[in-house]
Structure 1
Amino acid sequence: MSDLIQTAFRKSSHSEGGNGCVEVCAAGSQHFVRDSKDPHDGALVLDGAAWGALVGRIKHGALDL
């Protein structure tokens, strides 16, 4: 995870001004999601298929976000 700290995470545009702040980055075939308020506490690691499924569910309103 220490290498990811130097990777270019980007903050969700939907996180501005709220408490639900997340950052994401892609490195090779892996996608990483972390809490922007505590970036040194680890990240959720997803492969391409899992990332696509998560984004699809978010876009279709299947999650209570």
Structure 2
Amino acid sequence: MSTYRWEKSSYSASSSNCVNIAAAEDGTMRLRESDDPSTVLAVRPGALRALIGAAKAELLPTSGW
């Protein structure tokens, strides 16, 4: 497994409960939850932009997960 330079959002403050993001050599982004750092998801930048855009526009369900 590659070593990634993980970053967290400035909105996370000092809390350890946050999502970390890193850029991978293959052009994808890596995401992980700080509570479970061994689980890493790979996502293409365009898909991540779409997800963040939908969240900002409040288009994602807030219950039923």
The TM-score with structure 1 as length reference comes to 0.68
Aligned residues: 60
State the percentage of identical aligned residues: 32
Give the 4+ runs in structure 1 shifted more than 6 A.
none
More helix by share: 1
- 1:19 shift after superposition: 6.3
The residue that corresponds to 2:43 in the other structure is 46
The residue that corresponds to 2:32 in the other structure is 34
Where structure 1 has 5 or more consecutive residues not aligned to the other structure, the ranges are none
The residue that corresponds to 2:8 in the other structure is 11
The TM-score with structure 2 as length reference comes to 0.68
- Letter of the 2:12 counterpart: S
Of structures 1 and 2, the larger Rg is shown by: 2
